[in-house]
Amino acid sequence: MKKQAGVWIDHKGAYLVFVGEDAQESRRTESGMEKHVRYSGHAAQHEGSADDQRDRQFAAHLGTYYDEVISQMADADSILIFGPGEAKDEFHTRLVGKGLGAKVVGVEAADKMTNHQVAAKVRQHYEKTAGR
């Protein structure tokens, strides 16, 4: 059975939808990070500014979050990525870096969506492509 996946993703969380021949599964993954992150601790002078250190910590946290989402989608045959802001492109880049770029069938901008809207978009995308 071919497993098709779609993910609406931003820096706060991802909503994954998996579509099979007769079944649909969905799940939510939270990043555990708010938009404006504050880390405690002081940066050593040789490590750069506090802002640089926060940026590195933010990027490392996002990398862990993206890897968690990827681990849930690794067995998908095709992946549709959509969402607002930069996260969709960062996630796509991470997939490419993990050798899964060939599975990506699209990267699209999308505003906030309900879980039902995300599921409907994924179903409609794969129904359209199956009709080609």
For residue 128, pLDDT beyond 90: no
- Give just the sign of the alpha carbon dihedral 46, 40, 56, 71: positive
Fill in the DSSP letter of residue 59.
Answer: H
Over its C-alpha atoms, the chain yields an Rg (Å, rounded) of: 17
Query: What integer pLDDT is reported at residue 129 of this predicted model?
Result: 80
Contact 34, 12 (CB under 8 A): yes
Task: Tell if the pTM clears 0.85, that is, is over it.
Answer: no
Rounded Cα gap, residues 31 and 53, in angstroms: 19
Number of domains within the chain: 1
- HSE toward the beta carbon, residue 76, CA cutoff 13 A: 29
pLDDT digits (tens, 9 = 90+) for 28-69: 999 987 654 444 455 444 556 777 888 888 888 899 999 999
Q: For residue 49, give its domain range.
A: 4-130
Mean pLDDT score, 122-126: 94
Beta bridge partners of 108: 82
Give the CATH number for residue 24.
3.30.420.60
